């Protein structure tokens, strides 16, 4: 006859196996990297006019060789990105869909900063720096110069290991 300690261990092992079999499976869908949003550190000024740096400001160079001074404002965790896709119609874009949690902060940020530059940063790389024309919601597009650039952005967000 098994000892009391052995029976207790057997019961614990049985419960652990049962708990594992009821566990929620890990999603097999894509895992995305975080997207950082940086806002213009000052209102646009005339070229050549000096500006006063603000705490946390960083100078970034855009793909068209403009220098923009931005301050980190928001990070959307990769888990809050629902989907990414390339739209290669007339103007190539990356279509981004966020969860409601992910979109709330972005909506507030863009609503408060209409007219300023919004830097979109992925892994220390400024991928776009448009001027905010209107508040952004749960779905938005990032315009790119080419379909290849749009695909590279999606690949960067999708294929790089999440840390």
> Picking from 13-22, 31-40, 49-58, 123-132, which range would have the lowest pLDDT averaged per residue?
13-22
Q: 60 lies in a domain? A: yes
Domains in the chain: how many in total?
1
* Short-list 104, 129, 156, CA closest to 44: 129
Note whether residue 114 is domain-resident: yes
Query: Does residue 123 carry a pLDDT above 70?
Result: yes
- What's the pLDDT score for residue 46? 61
Give the separation between CA 95 and CA 87, rounded to whole angstroms. 7
Strands (E), the chain: 35-40, 58-61, 67-76, 81-87, 93-98, 118-122, 125-128, 139-143
CATH number at residue 134: 3.30.1360.200
Write out pLDDT tens, residues 38-96. 999 765 556 677 777 888 899 998 888 888 899 999 999 999 999 999 998 888 999 99
Indicate whether 22 belongs to any domain.
no
pLDDT at 50: 73
* 70 within domain boundaries: yes
pTM for the structure as a whole: 0.73
Q: What is the pLDDT of residue 160?
A: 54
Q: Which domain holds residue 100?
A: 35-159
Asked whether residue 28 carries a pLDDT value surpassing 80, the answer given is no
- The answer to whether residue 95 sits within a structural domain is yes
Distances (CA, A) of 98 to 6, 11, 70, 81, 92: 51, 44, 23, 4, 20
Does 139 score more than 50 pLDDT? yes
Query: What is the spatial distance between Cα 6 and Cα 30, in angstroms, rounded to a whole number?
Result: 43
Whether 125 is in a domain gets the answer yes
Tokens 């590279």 found at: 152
Burial of 69 (0-12, 13-18, 19+ CB in 10 A): middle
d(CA 81, CA 101): 10
């Amino acid at each position: 006859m098994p000892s009391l300690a052995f029976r207790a261990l057997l019961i614990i092992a049985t419960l652990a196996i049962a708990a594992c079999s009821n566990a929620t499976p890990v999603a097999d869908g894509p895992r995305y990297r975080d997207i950082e949003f940086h806002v213009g550190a000052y209102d646009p000024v005339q070229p050549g006019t000096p500006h006063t740096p603000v705490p946390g400001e960083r100078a970034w160079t855009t793909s068209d060789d403009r220098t923009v001074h931005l301050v980190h404002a928001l990070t959307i965790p990769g888990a809050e990105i629902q989907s990414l896709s390339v739209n290669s119609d007339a103007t190539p874009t990356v279509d981004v869909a966020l969860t409601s949690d992910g979109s709330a902060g972005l909506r507030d940020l863009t609503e408060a900063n209409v007219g300023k530059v919004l830097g979109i940063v992925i892994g220390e790389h400024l991928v776009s720096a448009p001027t905010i024309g209107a508040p952004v919601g749960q779905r938005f597009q990032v315009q790119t110069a080419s379909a290849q650039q749009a695909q590279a952005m999606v690949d960067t967000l999708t294929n790089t290991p999440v840390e």
